[in-house]
Structure 1
Amino acid sequence: MANGPSGTPEREQSPLSILMLLPNMVTLTGLSFGLTAVRFTIEGRYSAAVFLILLAALADGLDGLLARWLRAESPLGAQLDSLSDFMCFGVAPAILVYQIHLAQAGGFGWIIAMLFAVGACFRLARFNVTTGKTDDTKGPAKHFVGVPAPAGACLGLLPVFLTLGSVLEPGDAPVVVSVWLAIVCVLMISSLKTLSPKAVKVPRRFIGVILFATVIVIGLGFTRPWYLLALVDVAYLMTLLHAVVRARGQLFR
Protein backbone atom coordinates (compact mmCIF):
# COMPACT_ATOMS: atom_id res chain seq x y z
CA MET A 1 0.00 0.00 0.00
CA ALA A 2 1.36 3.43 -0.95
CA ASN A 3 2.26 5.89 1.80
CA GLY A 4 1.31 9.52 1.98
CA PRO A 5 3.65 12.49 2.70
CA SER A 6 3.55 11.78 6.44
CA GLY A 7 4.54 8.14 5.98
CA THR A 8 1.09 6.77 6.86
CA PRO A 9 -0.91 4.62 4.42
CA GLU A 10 -3.07 6.61 2.01
CA ARG A 11 -6.10 4.55 3.09
CA GLU A 12 -5.75 5.90 6.64
CA GLN A 13 -5.51 9.47 5.32
CA SER A 14 -8.51 9.26 3.01
CA PRO A 15 -11.81 10.78 4.22
CA LEU A 16 -14.25 8.40 5.91
CA SER A 17 -17.98 8.42 5.32
CA ILE A 18 -19.94 9.57 8.36
CA LEU A 19 -22.14 6.50 7.91
CA MET A 20 -19.19 4.29 8.78
CA LEU A 21 -19.01 6.00 12.17
CA LEU A 22 -22.72 5.56 12.84
CA PRO A 23 -22.47 2.18 14.67
CA ASN A 24 -19.85 3.53 17.09
CA MET A 25 -21.91 6.69 17.60
CA VAL A 26 -24.89 4.54 18.55
CA THR A 27 -22.67 2.53 20.92
CA LEU A 28 -21.49 5.71 22.63
CA THR A 29 -25.10 6.86 22.89
CA GLY A 30 -25.96 3.63 24.69
CA LEU A 31 -22.97 4.09 26.98
CA SER A 32 -24.20 7.59 27.80
CA PHE A 33 -27.59 6.11 28.68
CA GLY A 34 -25.93 3.68 31.09
CA LEU A 35 -23.83 6.37 32.75
CA THR A 36 -26.84 8.63 33.14
CA ALA A 37 -28.81 5.72 34.61
CA VAL A 38 -26.21 5.55 37.39
CA ARG A 39 -26.62 9.28 38.02
CA PHE A 40 -30.41 8.99 38.15
CA THR A 41 -30.09 6.05 40.55
CA ILE A 42 -27.97 8.15 42.90
CA GLU A 43 -30.57 10.92 42.68
CA GLY A 44 -33.41 8.49 43.47
CA ARG A 45 -35.00 8.76 40.02
CA TYR A 46 -35.40 5.01 39.68
CA SER A 47 -38.02 4.91 36.92
CA ALA A 48 -35.88 7.10 34.69
CA ALA A 49 -32.83 4.93 35.43
CA VAL A 50 -34.67 1.78 34.33
CA PHE A 51 -35.90 3.52 31.19
CA LEU A 52 -32.33 4.52 30.27
CA ILE A 53 -31.04 0.97 30.79
CA LEU A 54 -33.76 -0.28 28.45
CA LEU A 55 -32.78 2.37 25.90
CA ALA A 56 -29.18 1.18 26.23
CA ALA A 57 -30.36 -2.35 25.42
CA LEU A 58 -32.11 -1.00 22.32
CA ALA A 59 -28.93 0.84 21.28
CA ASP A 60 -26.92 -2.34 21.85
CA GLY A 61 -29.05 -4.23 19.37
CA LEU A 62 -29.11 -1.36 16.89
CA ASP A 63 -25.36 -0.75 16.69
CA GLY A 64 -24.67 -4.35 15.70
CA LEU A 65 -27.35 -4.26 13.02
CA LEU A 66 -25.97 -1.02 11.63
CA ALA A 67 -22.40 -2.33 11.65
CA ARG A 68 -23.41 -5.42 9.63
CA TRP A 69 -25.68 -3.48 7.29
CA LEU A 70 -23.04 -0.82 6.57
CA ARG A 71 -20.18 -3.34 6.64
CA ALA A 72 -18.54 -1.13 9.24
CA GLU A 73 -17.55 -3.88 11.69
CA SER A 74 -14.15 -3.36 13.29
CA PRO A 75 -12.12 -4.65 16.28
CA LEU A 76 -12.38 -1.19 17.85
CA GLY A 77 -16.15 -1.22 17.54
CA ALA A 78 -16.39 -4.71 19.04
CA GLN A 79 -14.30 -3.76 22.08
CA LEU A 80 -16.15 -0.48 22.52
CA ASP A 81 -19.44 -2.36 22.43
CA SER A 82 -18.32 -4.78 25.14
CA LEU A 83 -17.09 -1.99 27.42
CA SER A 84 -20.39 -0.17 26.94
CA ASP A 85 -22.31 -3.37 27.72
CA PHE A 86 -20.39 -3.84 30.96
CA MET A 87 -21.35 -0.35 32.07
CA CYS A 88 -24.98 -0.52 30.94
CA PHE A 89 -25.84 -4.13 31.83
CA GLY A 90 -23.40 -4.87 34.63
CA VAL A 91 -22.62 -1.78 36.65
CA ALA A 92 -25.81 0.25 36.19
CA PRO A 93 -28.29 -2.55 37.10
CA ALA A 94 -26.12 -3.63 40.05
CA ILE A 95 -26.09 -0.12 41.51
CA LEU A 96 -29.82 0.29 40.90
CA VAL A 97 -30.77 -2.95 42.65
CA TYR A 98 -28.34 -2.19 45.48
CA GLN A 99 -29.76 1.28 46.00
CA ILE A 100 -33.36 0.07 46.17
CA HIS A 101 -33.11 -3.33 47.85
CA LEU A 102 -29.63 -4.10 49.17
CA ALA A 103 -28.37 -0.89 50.77
CA GLN A 104 -29.88 -1.88 54.12
CA ALA A 105 -27.87 -5.10 54.03
CA GLY A 106 -24.65 -3.08 54.17
CA GLY A 107 -21.45 -4.76 53.06
CA PHE A 108 -23.16 -8.04 52.23
CA GLY A 109 -25.53 -6.30 49.83
CA TRP A 110 -22.64 -4.52 48.15
CA ILE A 111 -20.77 -7.82 47.70
CA ILE A 112 -23.83 -9.27 45.93
CA ALA A 113 -24.07 -6.20 43.69
CA MET A 114 -20.38 -6.52 42.80
CA LEU A 115 -20.86 -10.24 42.14
CA PHE A 116 -23.57 -9.45 39.61
CA ALA A 117 -21.42 -6.82 37.85
CA VAL A 118 -18.40 -9.16 37.75
CA GLY A 119 -20.60 -11.93 36.32
CA ALA A 120 -21.65 -9.63 33.49
CA CYS A 121 -18.00 -8.69 32.92
CA PHE A 122 -16.97 -12.36 32.74
CA ARG A 123 -19.84 -13.08 30.34
CA LEU A 124 -18.71 -10.30 28.00
CA ALA A 125 -15.04 -11.28 28.24
CA ARG A 126 -15.87 -14.87 27.28
CA PHE A 127 -17.95 -13.59 24.38
CA ASN A 128 -14.96 -11.56 23.15
CA VAL A 129 -12.60 -14.52 23.43
CA THR A 130 -14.94 -16.71 21.37
CA THR A 131 -15.52 -13.78 18.94
CA GLY A 132 -19.25 -14.29 19.35
CA LYS A 133 -19.22 -17.71 17.66
CA THR A 134 -21.53 -19.64 19.97
CA ASP A 135 -22.84 -22.02 17.34
CA ASP A 136 -21.10 -24.54 15.13
CA THR A 137 -23.64 -24.23 12.36
CA LYS A 138 -23.56 -21.79 9.47
CA GLY A 139 -25.95 -18.86 9.34
CA PRO A 140 -27.66 -17.21 12.33
CA ALA A 141 -26.66 -18.60 15.73
CA LYS A 142 -29.22 -21.02 17.09
CA HIS A 143 -28.29 -20.29 20.67
CA PHE A 144 -26.13 -18.24 23.00
CA VAL A 145 -23.83 -19.77 25.59
CA GLY A 146 -25.11 -18.44 28.88
CA VAL A 147 -27.61 -15.62 29.34
CA PRO A 148 -26.51 -12.55 27.32
CA ALA A 149 -25.65 -9.44 29.33
CA PRO A 150 -28.71 -7.37 28.28
CA ALA A 151 -31.05 -10.24 29.16
CA GLY A 152 -29.16 -10.76 32.42
CA ALA A 153 -29.65 -7.09 33.27
CA CYS A 154 -33.40 -7.35 32.68
CA LEU A 155 -33.58 -10.47 34.85
CA GLY A 156 -31.54 -8.80 37.57
CA LEU A 157 -33.90 -5.82 37.52
CA LEU A 158 -36.96 -7.99 38.22
CA PRO A 159 -37.12 -6.91 41.91
CA VAL A 160 -36.95 -3.29 40.73
CA PHE A 161 -39.83 -3.84 38.29
CA LEU A 162 -41.91 -5.33 41.10
CA THR A 163 -41.06 -2.42 43.40
CA LEU A 164 -41.94 0.24 40.83
CA GLY A 165 -45.16 -1.69 40.18
CA SER A 166 -46.00 -1.46 43.92
CA VAL A 167 -45.75 -5.24 44.39
CA LEU A 168 -42.70 -4.94 46.65
CA GLU A 169 -41.57 -2.19 48.99
CA PRO A 170 -38.02 -0.79 48.74
CA GLY A 171 -35.70 -2.80 50.94
CA ASP A 172 -38.06 -5.78 51.19
CA ALA A 173 -36.51 -9.25 51.36
CA PRO A 174 -32.85 -8.33 50.78
CA VAL A 175 -31.85 -11.98 51.24
CA VAL A 176 -34.26 -13.13 48.53
CA VAL A 177 -33.05 -10.35 46.19
CA SER A 178 -29.44 -11.33 46.90
CA VAL A 179 -30.13 -14.97 46.05
CA TRP A 180 -31.91 -13.87 42.89
CA LEU A 181 -28.95 -11.76 41.72
CA ALA A 182 -26.60 -14.65 42.47
CA ILE A 183 -28.77 -16.99 40.36
CA VAL A 184 -28.79 -14.54 37.44
CA CYS A 185 -25.01 -14.21 37.76
CA VAL A 186 -24.62 -17.99 37.51
CA LEU A 187 -26.91 -18.07 34.47
CA MET A 188 -24.79 -15.44 32.72
CA ILE A 189 -21.50 -17.26 33.24
CA SER A 190 -22.92 -20.75 32.71
CA SER A 191 -22.49 -22.87 29.58
CA LEU A 192 -26.27 -23.26 29.24
CA LYS A 193 -27.44 -22.97 25.63
CA THR A 194 -30.00 -20.15 25.71
CA LEU A 195 -32.42 -18.90 23.09
CA SER A 196 -31.17 -16.64 20.31
CA PRO A 197 -33.86 -14.40 18.74
CA LYS A 198 -32.24 -14.92 15.34
CA ALA A 199 -33.20 -18.58 15.46
CA VAL A 200 -36.88 -18.01 16.32
CA LYS A 201 -39.16 -18.88 13.42
CA VAL A 202 -42.87 -18.07 13.40
CA PRO A 203 -45.38 -20.46 11.78
CA ARG A 204 -47.51 -18.58 9.28
CA ARG A 205 -50.73 -19.49 11.07
CA PHE A 206 -49.53 -17.54 14.14
CA ILE A 207 -48.64 -14.32 12.32
CA GLY A 208 -52.03 -12.73 12.99
CA VAL A 209 -51.88 -13.67 16.66
CA ILE A 210 -48.43 -12.13 17.01
CA LEU A 211 -49.51 -8.91 15.33
CA PHE A 212 -52.48 -8.55 17.69
CA ALA A 213 -50.25 -9.44 20.63
CA THR A 214 -47.94 -6.62 19.57
CA VAL A 215 -50.78 -4.14 19.96
CA ILE A 216 -51.56 -5.52 23.43
CA VAL A 217 -47.90 -5.28 24.44
CA ILE A 218 -47.75 -1.66 23.28
CA GLY A 219 -50.90 -0.89 25.28
CA LEU A 220 -49.46 -2.51 28.40
CA GLY A 221 -46.24 -0.60 27.84
CA PHE A 222 -48.13 2.66 28.20
CA THR A 223 -50.52 1.61 30.97
CA ARG A 224 -48.74 -1.07 33.04
CA PRO A 225 -45.07 -0.93 32.01
CA TRP A 226 -43.65 -2.52 35.17
CA TYR A 227 -46.05 -5.46 35.02
CA LEU A 228 -45.20 -5.92 31.35
CA LEU A 229 -41.46 -5.97 32.06
CA ALA A 230 -41.99 -8.47 34.88
CA LEU A 231 -44.02 -10.69 32.52
CA VAL A 232 -41.26 -10.49 29.91
CA ASP A 233 -38.81 -11.69 32.55
CA VAL A 234 -41.11 -14.57 33.47
CA ALA A 235 -41.52 -15.55 29.81
CA TYR A 236 -37.75 -15.54 29.33
CA LEU A 237 -37.34 -17.62 32.48
CA MET A 238 -39.64 -20.21 30.89
CA THR A 239 -37.26 -20.47 27.93
CA LEU A 240 -34.36 -20.92 30.35
CA LEU A 241 -36.24 -23.65 32.19
CA HIS A 242 -36.83 -25.39 28.87
CA ALA A 243 -33.11 -25.10 28.09
CA VAL A 244 -32.22 -26.63 31.46
CA VAL A 245 -34.61 -29.54 30.93
CA ARG A 246 -33.27 -30.11 27.43
CA ALA A 247 -29.68 -30.01 28.66
CA ARG A 248 -30.44 -32.57 31.39
CA GLY A 249 -32.18 -34.76 28.85
CA GLN A 250 -29.14 -34.73 26.58
CA LEU A 251 -26.84 -35.38 29.54
CA PHE A 252 -28.70 -38.52 30.66
CA ARG A 253 -29.59 -39.79 27.19
Structure 2
Amino acid sequence: MGHQPKYGISIRALIPNMVTAMALCTGLSAIWFALSARWPEAVMAIVAAGVLDGIDGRIARLLKGQSRFGAELDSLSDNIAFGVSPAIVLFIWSLQYMPRFGWTIALFYTLCMALRLARFNAQIDVEHQPHKSAGFLTGVPAPTAAGLALLPLVIWLETGFDIAQEQWIVGPWMLFVALLAISSVATFSWSSLRIRRSVRMGTIAVAGMLVTILITAPWVALIILCIGYLILIPFSMISYGRTKKRIGIAANN
Protein backbone atom coordinates (compact mmCIF):
# COMPACT_ATOMS: atom_id res chain seq x y z
CA MET A 1 0.00 0.00 0.00
CA GLY A 2 1.17 3.50 -0.82
CA HIS A 3 1.51 6.38 1.56
CA GLN A 4 -1.91 7.61 2.66
CA PRO A 5 -2.24 11.40 2.76
CA LYS A 6 -3.27 12.96 6.05
CA TYR A 7 -6.48 14.93 6.02
CA GLY A 8 -7.53 17.77 8.28
CA ILE A 9 -5.61 20.43 10.14
CA SER A 10 -3.36 19.74 13.09
CA ILE A 11 -4.30 21.17 16.48
CA ARG A 12 -0.87 22.83 16.55
CA ALA A 13 -1.88 25.02 13.61
CA LEU A 14 -5.16 25.95 15.29
CA ILE A 15 -3.77 26.96 18.69
CA PRO A 16 -2.69 30.51 17.63
CA ASN A 17 -6.13 31.10 16.09
CA MET A 18 -7.77 29.86 19.28
CA VAL A 19 -5.77 32.38 21.29
CA THR A 20 -6.80 35.13 18.86
CA ALA A 21 -10.45 34.11 19.23
CA MET A 22 -10.04 34.25 23.01
CA ALA A 23 -8.66 37.79 22.69
CA LEU A 24 -11.65 38.81 20.57
CA CYS A 25 -14.19 37.38 23.02
CA THR A 26 -12.37 38.79 26.05
CA GLY A 27 -12.15 42.26 24.55
CA LEU A 28 -15.78 42.23 23.47
CA SER A 29 -16.83 41.16 26.97
CA ALA A 30 -15.68 44.58 28.18
CA ILE A 31 -18.88 45.99 26.66
CA TRP A 32 -20.96 43.54 28.69
CA PHE A 33 -19.18 44.62 31.86
CA ALA A 34 -19.69 48.30 30.98
CA LEU A 35 -23.42 47.78 30.49
CA SER A 36 -23.50 46.56 34.09
CA ALA A 37 -21.29 49.47 35.26
CA ARG A 38 -18.59 46.99 36.26
CA TRP A 39 -15.76 49.31 35.27
CA PRO A 40 -12.78 47.45 36.78
CA GLU A 41 -13.81 44.28 34.96
CA ALA A 42 -14.31 46.23 31.72
CA VAL A 43 -10.78 47.63 31.86
CA MET A 44 -9.22 44.30 32.81
CA ALA A 45 -11.06 42.54 29.98
CA ILE A 46 -9.41 44.83 27.44
CA VAL A 47 -6.04 44.46 29.20
CA ALA A 48 -6.41 40.68 29.10
CA ALA A 49 -7.26 40.88 25.39
CA GLY A 50 -4.06 42.88 24.89
CA VAL A 51 -2.01 40.20 26.64
CA LEU A 52 -3.59 37.46 24.51
CA ASP A 53 -3.01 39.53 21.38
CA GLY A 54 0.62 39.92 22.32
CA ILE A 55 1.25 36.18 22.61
CA ASP A 56 -0.80 34.75 19.73
CA GLY A 57 1.74 35.79 17.10
CA ARG A 58 4.62 34.45 19.18
CA ILE A 59 2.80 31.16 19.65
CA ALA A 60 2.19 30.99 15.90
CA ARG A 61 5.90 31.48 15.16
CA LEU A 62 6.90 29.00 17.86
CA LEU A 63 4.55 26.31 16.53
CA LYS A 64 5.11 27.28 12.89
CA GLY A 65 1.39 27.93 12.62
CA GLN A 66 1.44 31.24 10.74
CA SER A 67 -1.21 31.60 8.07
CA ARG A 68 -2.99 34.26 6.07
CA PHE A 69 -6.21 33.22 7.78
CA GLY A 70 -4.60 33.83 11.18
CA ALA A 71 -3.39 37.27 10.11
CA GLU A 72 -6.87 38.27 8.93
CA LEU A 73 -8.50 36.92 12.09
CA ASP A 74 -5.98 38.81 14.20
CA SER A 75 -6.86 42.10 12.49
CA LEU A 76 -10.58 41.53 12.95
CA SER A 77 -10.00 40.67 16.60
CA ASP A 78 -7.89 43.80 17.11
CA ASN A 79 -10.55 46.01 15.55
CA ILE A 80 -13.24 44.67 17.86
CA ALA A 81 -11.21 44.31 21.06
CA PHE A 82 -9.22 47.53 20.78
CA GLY A 83 -11.39 49.67 18.50
CA VAL A 84 -15.04 48.92 19.17
CA SER A 85 -14.88 47.87 22.83
CA PRO A 86 -12.90 50.84 24.27
CA ALA A 87 -15.07 53.29 22.30
CA ILE A 88 -18.32 51.85 23.66
CA VAL A 89 -16.96 51.45 27.19
CA LEU A 90 -15.87 55.10 27.29
CA PHE A 91 -19.11 56.21 25.66
CA ILE A 92 -21.18 54.49 28.35
CA TRP A 93 -18.88 55.74 31.10
CA SER A 94 -18.53 59.37 30.00
CA LEU A 95 -19.19 60.42 26.41
CA GLN A 96 -22.93 59.72 26.46
CA TYR A 97 -23.24 62.86 28.56
CA MET A 98 -21.52 65.00 25.92
CA PRO A 99 -24.17 66.85 23.90
CA ARG A 100 -24.13 66.09 20.17
CA PHE A 101 -20.50 65.02 19.81
CA GLY A 102 -20.06 62.14 22.28
CA TRP A 103 -21.07 59.38 19.88
CA THR A 104 -19.24 61.09 17.04
CA ILE A 105 -15.97 60.91 18.98
CA ALA A 106 -16.56 57.25 19.82
CA LEU A 107 -17.19 56.50 16.14
CA PHE A 108 -14.10 58.46 15.10
CA TYR A 109 -11.93 56.47 17.48
CA THR A 110 -13.27 53.16 16.14
CA LEU A 111 -12.84 54.36 12.55
CA CYS A 112 -9.20 55.29 13.20
CA MET A 113 -8.50 51.84 14.63
CA ALA A 114 -10.04 50.26 11.53
CA LEU A 115 -7.98 52.53 9.27
CA ARG A 116 -4.80 51.67 11.14
CA LEU A 117 -5.41 47.94 10.81
CA ALA A 118 -6.36 48.32 7.14
CA ARG A 119 -3.10 50.18 6.53
CA PHE A 120 -1.19 47.42 8.28
CA ASN A 121 -2.86 44.71 6.18
CA ALA A 122 -2.28 46.64 2.96
CA GLN A 123 1.44 46.89 3.70
CA ILE A 124 2.05 43.24 4.67
CA ASP A 125 3.44 42.38 1.23
CA VAL A 126 5.06 45.77 0.58
CA GLU A 127 8.83 45.40 0.51
CA HIS A 128 9.80 49.03 1.13
CA GLN A 129 8.61 50.03 4.61
CA PRO A 130 11.04 52.54 6.14
CA HIS A 131 9.81 52.17 9.72
CA LYS A 132 9.60 48.38 9.63
CA SER A 133 12.99 47.97 7.96
CA ALA A 134 14.52 50.03 10.78
CA GLY A 135 12.72 47.94 13.42
CA PHE A 136 10.09 50.56 14.32
CA LEU A 137 6.30 50.70 14.14
CA THR A 138 4.20 53.30 12.35
CA GLY A 139 1.88 55.03 14.79
CA VAL A 140 0.67 53.64 18.11
CA PRO A 141 -0.35 49.95 17.94
CA ALA A 142 -4.04 49.18 18.47
CA PRO A 143 -3.67 47.42 21.87
CA THR A 144 -1.52 50.25 23.19
CA ALA A 145 -3.96 52.84 21.83
CA ALA A 146 -6.79 51.07 23.67
CA GLY A 147 -4.81 51.25 26.90
CA LEU A 148 -4.04 54.93 26.39
CA ALA A 149 -7.70 55.70 25.58
CA LEU A 150 -8.77 54.07 28.85
CA LEU A 151 -6.31 56.17 30.89
CA PRO A 152 -8.99 58.62 32.22
CA LEU A 153 -11.10 55.66 33.37
CA VAL A 154 -8.10 54.04 35.05
CA ILE A 155 -7.24 57.33 36.82
CA TRP A 156 -10.86 57.57 37.98
CA LEU A 157 -10.74 54.00 39.33
CA GLU A 158 -7.56 54.75 41.26
CA THR A 159 -8.29 58.24 42.56
CA GLY A 160 -12.08 58.61 42.42
CA PHE A 161 -11.64 62.11 40.98
CA ASP A 162 -14.82 62.99 39.10
CA ILE A 163 -12.91 65.38 36.85
CA ALA A 164 -11.37 62.36 35.09
CA GLN A 165 -14.89 61.40 33.94
CA GLU A 166 -15.62 64.81 32.44
CA GLN A 167 -16.58 64.39 28.80
CA TRP A 168 -14.63 67.51 27.89
CA ILE A 169 -11.50 65.67 29.03
CA VAL A 170 -12.35 62.17 27.79
CA GLY A 171 -13.48 63.35 24.34
CA PRO A 172 -10.38 65.32 23.32
CA TRP A 173 -8.17 62.66 24.86
CA MET A 174 -9.78 59.95 22.70
CA LEU A 175 -9.33 62.12 19.61
CA PHE A 176 -5.65 62.58 20.46
CA VAL A 177 -5.10 58.84 20.92
CA ALA A 178 -7.00 58.03 17.71
CA LEU A 179 -4.82 60.43 15.73
CA LEU A 180 -1.68 58.93 17.26
CA ALA A 181 -2.81 55.50 16.07
CA ILE A 182 -3.18 56.54 12.42
CA SER A 183 -0.21 58.90 12.43
CA SER A 184 3.10 58.26 10.69
CA VAL A 185 5.04 58.74 13.91
CA ALA A 186 7.77 56.13 14.39
CA THR A 187 7.24 54.27 17.65
CA PHE A 188 9.38 51.68 19.39
CA SER A 189 8.86 48.00 18.73
CA TRP A 190 10.39 45.29 20.90
CA SER A 191 13.16 44.79 18.32
CA SER A 192 14.06 48.49 18.27
CA LEU A 193 14.47 48.82 22.04
CA ARG A 194 18.08 48.59 23.13
CA ILE A 195 19.23 48.60 26.74
CA ARG A 196 22.80 49.48 27.65
CA ARG A 197 24.69 46.74 29.45
CA SER A 198 25.51 49.15 32.26
CA VAL A 199 21.83 49.49 33.19
CA ARG A 200 20.79 45.90 32.47
CA MET A 201 20.42 44.89 36.12
CA GLY A 202 18.53 48.05 36.96
CA THR A 203 16.14 47.46 34.06
CA ILE A 204 15.43 43.92 35.26
CA ALA A 205 14.82 45.23 38.79
CA VAL A 206 12.42 47.91 37.53
CA ALA A 207 10.53 45.33 35.46
CA GLY A 208 10.19 43.09 38.50
CA MET A 209 8.99 46.01 40.60
CA LEU A 210 6.45 46.95 37.92
CA VAL A 211 5.02 43.43 37.92
CA THR A 212 4.74 43.61 41.71
CA ILE A 213 2.87 46.91 41.46
CA LEU A 214 0.65 45.41 38.76
CA ILE A 215 -0.36 42.69 41.21
CA THR A 216 -0.79 44.87 44.29
CA ALA A 217 -1.95 48.13 42.69
CA PRO A 218 -2.99 47.40 39.08
CA TRP A 219 -4.42 50.84 38.32
CA VAL A 220 -1.23 52.57 39.45
CA ALA A 221 0.82 50.21 37.28
CA LEU A 222 -1.38 50.88 34.24
CA ILE A 223 -1.10 54.64 34.78
CA ILE A 224 2.69 54.34 35.00
CA LEU A 225 2.82 52.25 31.82
CA CYS A 226 0.65 54.69 29.86
CA ILE A 227 2.58 57.76 30.96
CA GLY A 228 5.88 55.99 30.38
CA TYR A 229 4.85 55.05 26.85
CA LEU A 230 3.83 58.62 26.04
CA ILE A 231 7.19 59.88 27.32
CA LEU A 232 8.97 57.37 25.07
CA ILE A 233 7.31 58.61 21.86
CA PRO A 234 9.61 61.65 21.34
CA PHE A 235 12.62 59.44 22.05
CA SER A 236 11.41 56.87 19.52
CA MET A 237 11.16 59.60 16.87
CA ILE A 238 14.71 60.74 17.63
CA SER A 239 15.98 57.16 17.67
CA TYR A 240 14.32 56.43 14.32
CA GLY A 241 15.94 59.51 12.78
CA ARG A 242 19.36 58.33 13.93
CA THR A 243 18.72 54.75 12.77
CA LYS A 244 17.49 55.92 9.38
CA LYS A 245 20.57 58.09 8.96
CA ARG A 246 22.85 55.21 9.97
CA ILE A 247 21.16 52.83 7.53
CA GLY A 248 21.46 55.44 4.77
CA ILE A 249 25.16 55.90 5.40
CA ALA A 250 25.72 52.12 5.42
CA ALA A 251 23.81 51.73 2.17
CA ASN A 252 25.89 54.45 0.48
CA ASN A 253 29.09 52.81 1.65
Q: Do these two structures clear the TM 0.5 threshold for a shared fold by scoring above it?
A: yes
Supply the AA of the counterpart residue of 1:127: F
Select the residue among 230, 235, 238 that pairs with 1:237.
Answer: 230
What is the identity percentage for the equivalent residue pairs of Structure 1 and Structure 2? 34
Relative to structure 1, is the Cα distance of residues 22 and 112 closer, same or farther in structure 2, using a 3 angstrom cutoff? same
State TM-score, norm by structure 2.
0.86
Q: Is the deviation greater in 195-204 or in 241-250?
A: 241-250
SS in 1 for 2:101: helix
Q: Which runs of 5+ in 2 are unaligned?
A: 245-253
Deviation at 1:170, TM superposition (A): 7.1
Give the alignment's Cα RMSD to 1 decimal.
2.5
Deviation at 1:99, TM superposition (A): 1.6
Q: Which runs of 5+ in 1 are unaligned?
A: 1-9
Relative to structure 1, is the Cα distance of residues 75 and 98 closer, same or farther in structure 2, using a 3 angstrom cutoff? same
Please name the residue that 2:140 is paired with: 147
State TM-score, norm by structure 1.
0.86
SS in 2 for 1:197: coil
CA distance, structure 2, for counterparts of residue 189 and residue 63 of structure 1 = 23
Relative to structure 1, is the Cα distance of residues 187 and 137 closer, same or farther in structure 2, using a 3 angstrom cutoff? closer
Please name the residue that 1:117 is paired with: 110
SS in 2 for 1:73: coil
Please name the residue that 1:30 is paired with: 23
CA distance, structure 1, for counterparts of residue 118 and residue 226 of structure 2 = 24
Deviation at 1:214, TM superposition (A): 2.3
CA distance, structure 2, for counterparts of residue 172 and residue 71 of structure 1 = 45
Q: Is the deviation greater in 19-28 or in 90-99?
A: 90-99
Deviation at 1:18, TM superposition (A): 0.7
How many pairs are equivalent?
239
SS in 1 for 2:137: strand
CA distance, structure 2, for counterparts of residue 243 and residue 132 of structure 1 = 25
CA distance, structure 2, for counterparts of residue 17 and residue 170 of structure 1 = 52
Please name the residue that 1:219 is paired with: 212
Q: Is the deviation greater in 111-120 or in 98-107?
A: 98-107
1:56-205 superposed matches below 5 A:
56-131=49-124, 135-136=129-130, 142-169=135-162, 172-205=165-198
Relative to structure 1, is the Cα distance of residues 233 and 137 closer, same or farther in structure 2, using a 3 angstrom cutoff? closer
Deviation at 1:91, TM superposition (A): 0.7
